[in-house]
Amino acid sequence: MSERRQPVEIYVGLFVILGIILLGWLLSHFGGLASGPKGGYPLFLKVNDATGIRSGVPVSLGGVDIGYVAAEPQLREDFTGLRIELSIFEGRRIPIGSDVTVGTNGLMGDSFIRVIPPNEYDGRFYQEGELIEAKRKGSINDLAGTAGQTLVRASEALEEINRTIRDLNEVLKGVEENFLGSENAGNLNAMLSSLRVSSERIEAATENLDPLLRTTEEAMVEVKDAAKNANSAFNEVQVGVEGFTDTLEMVNPVVSELDGTLDDLRVTLDSANRLMDKLNHGDGLAAALVNDSELRNDLTSFADKLNRNGVLLYPREKQSAAPRRETSKAKPAPASGPHSPINPEKKGLFHFLKKRET
């Protein structure tokens, strides 16, 4: 009996040992307990949430492990996040601009550091000891919390919809009871009849509106023609204005010459006024003859004596007196008037002075 049970116990023991080895391999492979070779250069990662991150968690670049978490996450000195020390394998590098997040992988739901390369590579890499700021990414817990809040809001929205439906049912019930009664139905029929009559009148007015529109169109054509005629008249007026402008331009030189003539006439009148002033108020012989009557009388008397007695005060010969008298008697008396001949004996300055004296 004991001999038969011994192989069974051996098989059971081997199966248990194999199961333990397989479990250890699964934990090592899917749980991240063994992440490959150790060593490398350090980099530091700044994150806001490091849930599930512990020492030994792999760092993956595009699905390939390039390092691991070298130490447990530590709070920053300013308490603005967590600082995680990474150890990157020799020969592995992280391009600058890569998105670094905390991801979840494996059957056990373990976390790891995910590195997503940038779309545009400029040839630069993070150097040893640099600090990388991780991108915030929602976790399953965040999604669960968000889903819970969404469900709560959806429940509140459904409750609001139910209340609105109940209120709408009450409104429809009131409309059915009050508005759709026999009296209101008759009023509605009357309103529809009035609306039909109004539409017929509007249609008739529309038919009468067509001649008015045609008349308006003809009036607009006439207005357009009148505007063209007015434009032509304005053009003619413009031509006349241009001709008048040319005339003014021709008159301007004449006016300028007339101004010069008027200036000369003013100068002449001024000279005549000064001459008359000298004759009336001057100190010369002409002023004395004009203003002094005594001198004028003396000069007239002297001229008369010269005329009668001669220059040397000898009497004229009386031989010529008789023939002169006969000649004067024989000749008729000259006609008086502006065209009568002047006596030659009375010509000259002496005659002028005698006339002025008389």
Q: What is the per-residue pLDDT for 37?
A: 54
**What is d(CA 32, CA 345) in angstroms, rounded to the nearest whole number?**
169
Instruction: Compute the distance between CA of residue 54 and CA of residue 294 in angstroms, rounded to an integer.
Output: 156
In sequence order, what are the beta bridge partners of 107? none
Q: Which residue has the higher pLDDT, 212 or 71?
A: 71
Q: Which residue has the higher pLDDT, 349 or 254?
A: 254
Q: What is the pLDDT of residue 161?
A: 92
88 compared with 178, residue with greater pLDDT: 88
How many whole angstroms separate alpha carbon 40 and alpha carbon 37?
A: 9
Amino acid at 61: L
Other CB atoms within 10 Å distance of the CB of residue 154: 10
Residue range 243-265: mean pLDDT, rounded? 75
Number of C-beta neighbours around residue 235 at 10 A? 10
Show the beta-strand stretches assigned E in 58-151: 58-61, 64-69, 74-75, 82-88, 99-105, 110-116, 131-133
Tokens describing residue 354: 């005698």
Q: Which of 110, 115, 102, 140 is nearest to 28 (CA)?
A: 110
On the question of pLDDT at 125 being above 80, the answer is yes
> In the structure encoding, which two tokens stand for residue 26, read together?
């699964």
The pLDDT score that the predictor gives to residue 330 is 45
- Under a CB-based contact definition with an 8 Å cutoff, are residues 86 and 115 in contact? no
Q: 99, 102, 66, 70: which is closest to 84 by C-alpha?
A: 70
How far apart are alpha carbons 327 and 177 in whole angstroms? 158
Name residue 69's beta-bridge partners.
86
Cα 144 to Cα 48, 51, 150, distances in angstroms:
19, 15, 10
Phi-psi region of 339 (alpha: psi -120 to 50; beta: other; left: phi over 0): alpha
Q: 34 Cβ partners below 8 Å, 6+ apart?
A: 28
Whether the predicted pLDDT of 20 surpasses 90:
yes
Tens digit of pLDDT for each residue in 277-321? Answer: 776 766 666 666 666 677 777 778 777 777 777 655 555 554 444
pLDDT for 141 equals 56
Residues 140-147: contacts with CB under 8 Å, at least 24 apart? 140/104, 141/51
Closest of 86, 90, 92, 78 to residue 50, by C-alpha: 86
Between CA 173 and CA 180 the distance in angstroms is 10
Band of residue 342 on the pLDDT scale cut at 50, 70, 90: very low
Residue 30, pLDDT > 80, answer: no
pLDDT at 17 over 90: yes
In which band, very low, low, confident or very high, does the pLDDT at 338 lie, cut at 50, 70 and 90? Answer: very low
Nearest CA to 127 among 39, 36, 38, 44?
A: 44
- Amino acid letter, residue 325: R
Q: Please report the pLDDT score of residue 218 as a whole number.
A: 83
Mean pLDDT is highest, among 55-69, 221-235, 262-276, 311-325, for 55-69
Q: How far is CA 244 from CA 196, 237, 249, 256, in A?
A: 70, 10, 9, 18
Write out pLDDT tens, residues 171-211: 877 766 666 666 666 777 788 888 888 888 887 777 777 77
Give the whole-number percent of the chain exceeding pLDDT 90. Answer: 6
Confidence of residue 18 (pLDDT cuts 50, 70, 90): very high
pLDDT computed for residue 355 by the predictor: 52
* Beta carbons of 58 and 37 less than 8 angstroms apart: no
Residue, of 55 and 29, whose pLDDT is higher = 55
Query: Strand, helix or coil at 2?
Result: helix
In this prediction, residue 318 carries a pLDDT of: 47
Identify the burial level of 66 via C-beta atoms within 10 angstroms of its C-beta, where 0-12 means exposed, 13-18 middle and 19 or more buried.
buried
More confident residue, 177 or 134: 134
**339 — pLDDT class (breaks 50, 70, 90):** very low
Most confidently modeled of 2-6, 66-70, 212-216? 66-70
Domain residue ranges of the chain, discontinuous segments joined by +: 31-137, 292-330+344-357
